[in-house]
Amino acid sequence: MLTVRNQTRLTFSKVSFKTVGQGSKATKYGIHLRQNMRIIARALAIVALATGLSGCIGAPVELTPQTEQNLRAQPPIRFLLTFDDGPSAARFWNPSQEVLDALLDNPVQPGIKAVFFVQTRAPRAGGSDIGRSLMRREQQEGHVLGFHTATHWHTNHRFLNPDELEQSLANGGADIAAVTGAAPSLVRPPFWSYDRRTFAAYQRHGLHVLLTDLSANDGKVWGITLSPRRRMNLTRQLSEVRELIAAGQLPAVDGVIPVVVTFHDLNRYTARHTREYLQILLDAARDTGVRTDAKPFYDDRQALERAAMVRTVKNTTQAVHLPGLWDWLWDSDSH
């Protein structure tokens, strides 16, 4: 996994458009053409770079005797699973439903609980009858519903004006409360992108930002979604997290260190391989010298919520690490 930091900031500007023929004036929020082209070019560059890097994931960080010794003084880990972008509205072979089935019934630890960051008003997700029924199932089976979006599309919160963001947060909170009986306490910003303005808005709504330690890099849910290097990818990332654990930089909650893992339940490949991913995580822990708890995954909603809250971002001055190339796309200082 490659992380590159860049000081270039991507922002939207307020642009005024004037009609010349009738002499009337109209002002609206938009994107300057040149700026838009830069954003598109940068996004295309990321796709190309990610494709090129998919075949050259680095080897795991070497486990040194000193790190091994330091790990013995640390509690075991427990994987805190999270899923973004769902629930799926698919009528035929619904991937979100498949993920739920796998968490409920698998050979590793039946009855695993996860945090689902839902899109409550996306027509291909929670804005559909099927999506809403799956949100109810997630609640009934003891999972945690967090907020992701309440817009028609998977929209970056930083690209919403203040009124739009406020409305989105209010709508999403109400949608989730209608299912769970309480407003959500967790938010995962779309594309991992937030700034001081959006962070302050989250706080006003009682929302806490949960990022991730490990990512399956499965956010691409269209076209070819297979992940032949998923084992190598997660092992490499966990070896990096292991160094933080050995240095005492990750907190313990209820006697274990929660390690946050991110998947996307709209990804059909992920859905088909969820049970395999559970075993891969255990294998990665063994291969990197990280000790797991007797219960390597959360199976209790309250314990899951406590752990997730401890791992949230406390303020905008806190240094964060975004998965993959997102540190490069979003200016690290914007947080």
Condensed to tens digits (0 to 9), the pLDDT of residues 189-218 reads 999 999 999 999 999 999 999 999 999 987
- Rounded Cα distance between 312 and 213, Å, is 11
Q: What percent of the chain has pLDDT over 70?
A: 78
Query: How many angstroms separate the CA atoms of 125 and 132, rounded?
Result: 8
- Three-state DSSP at 312 gives coil
Please state, for a pLDDT cut of 90, what percent of the chain lies above it: 73
Q: What is the per-residue burial (b if ≥16 Cβ within 10 Å, else e) of 145-182?
A: bbbbbbbeebbbbbbbeeeebeebbebbbebbeebbee
User: What is the per-residue pLDDT for 326?
Assistant: 75
pLDDT at 1: 36
Higher pLDDT, 280 or 12: 280
The continuous run of DSSP H or E covering 116 comes out as strand 115-119
The two three-digit tokens of residue 64, written as one number: 């040194």
Identify the band that residue 252 occupies on the pLDDT scale cut at 50, 70 and 90: very high
Q: Per CATH, is 66-321 categorized as 3.40.50.300?
A: no
What is the predicted pLDDT for the residue at 223? 52
At residue 315, φ and ψ (nearest 5 deg) are -160, 170
pLDDT band at 54 (very low <50, low <70, confident <90, very high): very low
| Per-residue confidence (pLDDT) for residue 324, from 0 to 100 | 72
pLDDT, position 327: 74
- pLDDT computed for residue 330 by the predictor: 67
Our separate counts of H helices and E strands in the chain read 11, 10
CA distances from 208 to 55, 107, 149 (A): 35, 33, 14
CA–CA dist 157, 125 (Å, integer): 18
- Could you tell me whether strands 14-18 and 25-29 are parallel, antiparallel, or unpaired per DSSP bridges? antiparallel
Residue 331 has pLDDT above 90, yes or no: no
Residue 261 in tokens: 């893992």
* CA distance to 76, 238, 257, 299, per residue, from 310 (Å): 16, 19, 10, 17
> What's the rounded Cα separation, in Å, for the pair 51 and 2?
12
**8 A C-beta contact, residue 93 and residue 266:** no
CA distance 101 to 135: 14
The per-residue pLDDT for 227 is 56
**pLDDT, tens only, 82-141:** 999 999 999 999 999 999 999 999 999 999 999 999 999 999 999 999 999 999 999 999
CA dihedral 330, 331, 332, 334 (to 10 degrees): -100
DSSP 8-40: ------EEEEE-SSS--EEEEE---HHHHHHHH
pLDDT value, residue 58: 83
Longest dimension (CA), the chain: 77
pLDDT of residue 36: 45
Confidence bin at 321 (pLDDT 50/70/90): confident
Q: Determine the Cα–Cα distance for residues 77 and 293; give it in Å rounded to an integer.
A: 6
Q: What is the mean pLDDT of the chain?
A: 85
DSSP 8-state assignment for residue 253: B
pLDDT of the residue at 92: 94
Q: Can you say whether the dihedral through the CA atoms of 209, 44, 165, 216 is positive or negative?
A: negative
Q: Where are the domains of the chain?
A: 66-321
Summarised one tens digit per residue, pLDDT across range 6-43 is 333 333 333 333 333 444 444 444 444 444 444 444 55
- Element (DSSP H or E) covering residue 82: strand 77-84
State pLDDT tens for residues 70-84: 999 999 999 999 999
What pLDDT does 325 receive?
A: 76
